[in-house]
A and B are shown apart, each in its own frame.
Chain A
Amino acid sequence: MTPRRRRMVAMTGGLVCLVAATALVLTAFEQNMLYFYTPTQIAAGEAPEGRRLRVGGLVEQGSVRRTPGSLEVRFDVTDLDQTITVAYAGILPDLFREGQGVVAHGLVSTDGLFEADEVLARHDENYMPPEVAEMLEERGHPPDASLR
């Protein structure tokens, strides 16, 4: 083997091992790589119990209930299959609205309520002018129904 060939084999081998090791680590920590759980995962008991976690999904249409005179708000987060009710007291981000993707950070209480201390809006990858969005709406394809 020429020295050049040896260096190439060493580097390729090193990279292959490195990629394999990284892939193993990422698979092992799969749970920790998830930014949020879906309501379905929580209902199925896949989320860690008694630990702080994030739940993500769409705010169900017509589910936002505010307590008059306070910042307390309750809304349902859905992945179009299962639904979980989130309780939160604080200022909601500008993008927060019914039908919008959100991620809430907090704890599942014993009665199944998700008590959040942070709510972030999650934007999807679609960009369009308002007229196009209206047109889609009229044709029965609301633009913000994806959950990626």
Chain B
Amino acid sequence: MRLPNWLHKLASPPHFYRIAGRIEPWMLWSGLAAIAVGAFGGLLLAPPDYQQGDAYRIIYFHVPAAYLAMQLYALMAIGSAIGLVWRMKLAYAISAATAPVGLAFTGLALATGMLWGKPMWGAYWSWGDARLTSVLVMFFLYLGYMLLHASLEERSTADRAAGILAVVGVVNLPIIKFSVEWWSSLHQGPTISRLAAPAITWDMLWPLLVMIVGAVLFSLAVTLTRARAEVLLRERGARWVRDVVAVGA
């Protein structure tokens, strides 16, 4: 199977560097604006919950963080898979750029979940819950990817070894998603799903959706910025990089 031509064109490092540089500010600022609107709506406009009172408002950070943690893992793994099969260097660069962003969002999801768990469940953490454990496994997969990548001297070897780890870890994604449905768990089931009406009223839901959109845009902007830096570093001997650096653009 061949990759489509437009993808090959986009994958040329100078082309990617230019396009990404043009998109990135738009994503960053619209993402930050959406996060501001969503946070305002979620923290101030949305009504308190009938049982949890104001404590439920942590979902406006917890849910987007957890969602992004998984999406970014998928992005990292797809980049690695494309790199492994098609030997596309840019795909590896994007994977390497994604890992720390995903790690940060996973850490945020774990931290906000624990802060909510103490007052609501009565415990920060409970070993034995499949959702909590599988997300912690994802945290270590991100960390393992970064450590493995950093520990190998030769960049192409590092890309391949860490890439295999990223692809293997994909098995964990469905486990995270369905853990609360396959097994009994402490963590509640999904509130928003594609198949059922959301189990949350609209005035509480819209800020959450805005926050998710904002978090997606923001995280992609950060990932693109990191990927551009990664491309410059990896192509530092190339002529186009010298031109870019000389102009200062």
Report the nearest B residue to A23, measured CB to CB.
B171
Q: Is A125 positioned at the interface, with any CB of B under 8 Å from its CB?
A: yes
Q: Is B120 positioned at the interface, with any CB of A under 8 Å from its CB?
A: yes
- Chain B residues with CB below 8 A from A130, complex form: 47-50
- Chain A residues with CB below 8 A from B123, complex form: 118, 120
Q: Is A119 positioned at the interface, with any CB of B under 8 Å from its CB?
A: yes
- What is the number of residues of chain A that contact chain B, defined by CB distance less than 8 Å? 46
- One digit per residue, 1 when the CB lies within 8 angstroms of any chain B CB and 0 when it does not, for chain A 113-134 equals 0000011111111111111111
> Given A19-B171, A148-B189, A93 and B50 touching (CB < 8 A)?
no
Docked Cα-Cα span, A103 to B123, in Å, equals 12
> Given A22-B171, A129-B49, A93 and B1 touching (CB < 8 A)?
no
Cβ contact within 8 Å between A35 and B185: yes
Cβ contact within 8 Å between B56 and A127: yes
- One digit per residue, 1 when the CB lies within 8 angstroms of any chain B CB and 0 when it does not, for chain A 65-92 equals 0000000000000000000000000001
Question: Interface residues of A: mostly helix, strand, loop or mixed?
Answer: mixed
Docked Cα-Cα span, A35 to B188, in Å, equals 12
CB-contact partner of A34 in B59, B170, B184, B191, under 8 A: B184
- Chain A residues with CB below 8 A from B122, complex form: 92-96, 118-121
Q: Is A18 positioned at the interface, with any CB of B under 8 Å from its CB?
A: yes
Q: Spell out A's residues near B (CB within 8 Å).
A: 4-5, 7-8, 11, 15, 18-19, 22, 26, 30, 33-38, 54, 56, 92-96, 100, 103, 118-134, 143-144, 148
17 contacts between A and B (CB under 8 A): A8-B1, A11-B81, A15-B171, A18-B171, A33-B182, A38-B184, A93-B119, A95-B121, A121-B122, A125-B190, A127-B199, A127-B204, A128-B200, A128-B204, A129-B204, A130-B47, A144-B51
Known: A35-B129, A120-B121. 6 other contacts (CB 8 A): A11-B85, A22-B171, A22-B175, A33-B130, A128-B200, A131-B47
